[in-house]
Amino acid sequence: MTRNLNILGLMLCCIFAGCSTAPRGGGAQEDLIIQADSTVDRFRAGDPTLSDRIAQAHGYAVFPTIGRAGAGVGGAFGRGVVYEMDEVIGF
């Protein structure tokens, strides 16, 4: 029982930590959107079928940069933009 509560607590901490990575302020959000759009453009140049796949997708997320960290287990961190029908809906 205690083990299950510990796992639940760890999961909640990870979820809330992930939500706190959203950029604050309009300028930081605009910069992230520009970076995400640039990343998608680079991938489209490398894969001609990507535009069709994005057009068929209901939503997608773009992480322009991802950092890596880890001590034995490993982990990653990144800020990204969430799109729904080609409109930004979140970070």
Task: Convert the pLDDT of each residue in 1-34 to its tens digit.
Answer: 555 444 545 554 444 455 556 677 778 999 999 9
SS3 at position 47: coil
Q: CA 91, CA 82: separation in Å to the nearest integer?
A: 6
Whether residue 88 contacts residue 81, with contact meaning beta carbons closer than 8 Å, is answered with yes
Strands 87-90 and 59-69 turn out to be unpaired
Percentage of the chain surpassing pLDDT 70? 69
What is the pLDDT at residue 36?
A: 96
Element (H, E) at 87: strand 87-90
